[in-house]
A and B are shown apart, each in its own frame.
Chain A
Amino acid sequence: KAGVTQTPRYLIKTRGQQVTLSCSPISGHRSVSWYQQTPGQGLQFLFEYFSETQRNKGNFPGRFSGRQFSNSRSEMNVSTLELGDSALYLCASSLAGTEVFYEQYFGPGTRLTVT
Chain B
Amino acid sequence: QKEVEQDPGPLSVPEGAIVSLNCTYSNSAFQYFMWYRQYSRKGPELLMYTYSSGNKEDGRFTAQVDKSSKYISLFIRDSQPSDSATYLCAMRRRSGAGSYQLTFGKGTKLSVIP
A-side residues, CB < 8 A to B, are: 4, 33, 35, 41-45, 48, 50, 55-56, 58, 90, 92, 97-98, 101, 103-109
Contact = CB atoms under 8 A, between A and B. Distances in A.
Nearest to B104: A43
Q: Which 5 A-B pairs have the closest CB atoms?
A: A106-B43, A42-B106, A43-B104, A56-B99, A55-B99
Contacts of B104: 35, 42-44
Interface of B: 32, 41-46, 49, 51, 88, 90, 92, 94-96, 98-107
B102 A104 contact: yes
Nearest to B36: A106
Contacts, number: 59
Most buried by A among B41, B42, B43, B100: B43
A108 B44 contact: no
B43 A90 contact: yes
A90 B96 CA distance: 23
Contacts of B43: 4, 90, 92, 106-109
Contacts of B96: 55-56
A109 B43 CA distance: 6
Given A101-B51, A106-B44, A42 B107 contact: yes
A101 B31 CA distance: 10
25 contacts: A35-B104, A41-B106, A42-B104, A42-B105, A43-B44, A43-B88, A43-B90, A43-B104, A44-B104, A45-B101, A50-B99, A55-B98, A56-B95, A56-B101, A97-B100, A98-B100, A101-B32, A101-B92, A104-B46, A106-B43, A106-B45, A107-B43, A108-B41, A108-B42, A108-B43
